[in-house]
Amino acid sequence: MNLEVKAARLARTDLGKVREQRIKYLNDERRIKAVTVCFTDLEGRLHMLDYDKKFLLKSADNLTFDGSSVRGFSQQHESDLRLVIDWPAFYWLPSDVFGPGKVLVFAEVRGQDGTPYHADMRARLKALGDALHAKDGTVAQFAHEIEGFLFKGRDAERRYHETGHFEFISTGGYYHSLPGDPLRRFIDSAAEVQRAMGFGNEKDHPEVAPSQFEMNFSYTEACVAADQVQLYKLLCRQVAQNMDMTASFLPKPVTGINGNGMHTNISLLKGKTNLFYDKAGEAGLSAAGWAFIERILNSAPDICLVLNASVNAYRRLDPHFEAPNQIKASATDRGSMIRIPIGNERSARIEVRSVAPDANPYMTVYTLLRTGLEGPQPDAAEVASKRARTRFLPDNVNDAIRLFKQSKVITDMLGETIQTRFAEVKQASAERCPRALGSLIKAAEVQFHHEVTNQYLWNQF
């Protein structure tokens, strides 16, 4: 059922027809008791509201929530916001993991007057994808490789300020684990949930660091791919909790070992033609592909905060641990911000490696796509000059915030309001942490990390 819904979504089936089908299904299916409606805030946290099915069917056109309680959203004097269900983005949840009687659907956030809410990056990404397709049939394809850590015990991140450490489940290493060990059982269970939810799995395995995992799934249209990032992290956390463990997507939760990345693969498709492929091009990439790369590299310092949005993310950009902190593109050097994987007419793509797994996936995809298509294009002499020098991304969140705030590229792309609000919420985290990272993980960078559910602790600061 999830595969059928996904195919209809990718085929851009008429929204009215889809809405009619979903409402009929919910009316007829007695085993479904509630609908989980999801939206994502400016920092990338997934919020979920459970609606009784009968209430939802009667009130689907008038769902509201208090936006002033969501960090980075509305102010107190403009608190009420609306939710509009995106009926094509509909998922059946495996009941043995998430509990029986529920389905999940994504929603768009609207202002009190019903217009799209400026801080809802999902709606902005969806509109961008629709505009590209309407213009000339171009479809932006994305695939994310999301690394995470598995730690012993529930709520290991939330309790870090008490314990001061994370405890590994496994120390096996890259590709190595016994079929029945805890890490492999977790990976197998989470991958099975992904299959049930129609992700299009490709491979899964332990990663380089102890207790680290990665599960890869196939490329798809931009907004669908970003939705899958949110669902991937949700299901990993739920599977881990069911096994009395914690799935963590902190970029660098433990010093001295490799961190977590969210390598973001991008290609553009028009009909059946991969616009990034040219057999005779440099590294098998077309001129359009190289122009896309050069625009991203040209604006790399400006967009770094979007791709690495937390204090902890800058620990990962450490050259001693295969960190992609150099502002360059390479087919071989994994220290480069952008890698060009070996590809053919179907698989040719670029891989942006300097993305942390705690970044807002909608904001990240939107920013990379807009920058690659519309960002300032350096001339040939400037490109040659920059290629000849070794340039690096910011190595701390404070520098990244400063570059983000003063960037005209960001102002033009996100708007002044979002530029200011995003910088403010990032600054709030930075001010709760020591300014110098030092060599050891500080409790504050975990405690006040935006993905850790610790609102109580935030209020005690």
Show the tokens assigned to 379: 């001339």
Which residue matches tokens 């299959």? 195
Torsion of CA 421, 425, 426, 430, to 10 degrees: 140
Give 155-163 contacts, CB < 8 A, sequence gap 24+.
155/246, 156/246, 156/248, 157/246, 157/248, 157/250, 157/253, 157/446, 157/449, 157/451, 157/452, 158/452, 158/453, 158/454, 160/443, 160/446, 160/447, 161/443, 161/444, 161/446, 161/447, 161/457
CA distance 435 to 19: 50
* pLDDT of the residue at 114: 84
Question: Please, what are the domains in the chain?
Answer: 2-117 (3.10.20.70), 136-460 (3.30.590.10)
Task: Using DSSP, state whether 359 is helix, strand or coil.
Answer: coil
Q: Give dist(CA 259, CA 319) in Å, integer.
A: 11
- Phi, psi dihedrals of residue 260, rounded to the nearest 5°: -95, 135
**What is the pairing mode between strands 34-40 and 102-110?**
parallel
Q: What pLDDT sits at residue 173?
A: 62
Q: What is the pLDDT of residue 252?
A: 95
Per-residue pLDDT of the chain (461 residues; tens, 9 = 90+): 999 999 999 999 999 999 999 999 999 999 999 999 999 999 999 999 999 999 999 998 888 887 777 877 766 556 788 999 999 999 999 999 998 999 999 999 998 888 899 999 999 999 999 999 999 999 999 999 999 999 999 999 999 999 999 999 987 766 566 676 889 999 999 999 999 999 988 888 777 789 999 999 999 999 999 999 999 999 999 999 999 999 999 999 998 888 999 999 999 999 889 999 999 999 999 999 999 999 999 999 999 999 999 999 999 987 776 678 999 999 877 789 999 998 888 899 999 999 999 999 999 999 999 999 999 987 877 777 777 678 899 999 999 999 999 999 999 999 999 999 999 999 999 999 999 988 899 999 999 999 988 777 777 77
Complete DSSP assignment for 150-217: EEESTTTTTTHHHH-S--BS----TT---TTSHHHHHHHHHHHHHHHTT--EEEEEE-SSTTEEEEEE
Cα radius of gyration (the chain): 21
Please count the CA atoms within 13 angstroms of the CA of 383 that sit on its side-chain side. 13
Give the up-direction half-sphere exposure of residue 299: CA atoms within 13 A in the CB hemisphere: 29
3-class SS of residue 441: coil
Contact 339, 351 (CB under 8 A): yes
Cα atoms in the Cβ-side hemisphere of radius 13 Å centred on 115: 3
CA pseudo-torsion sign 173, 176, 180, 186: positive
Distance CA 280, CA 287 (A): 10
Structure tokens of 164?
A: 């001061």
| Residue 209 pLDDT | 85
Q: At residue 327, what is the residue type?
A: I
For residue 226, the one-letter residue type is: A
| pTM flag (> 0.75) | yes
Closest CA to 48 of 118, 115, 98, 113: 98
Compute CA distances 64 → 85, 170, 417, whole Å: 11, 44, 22
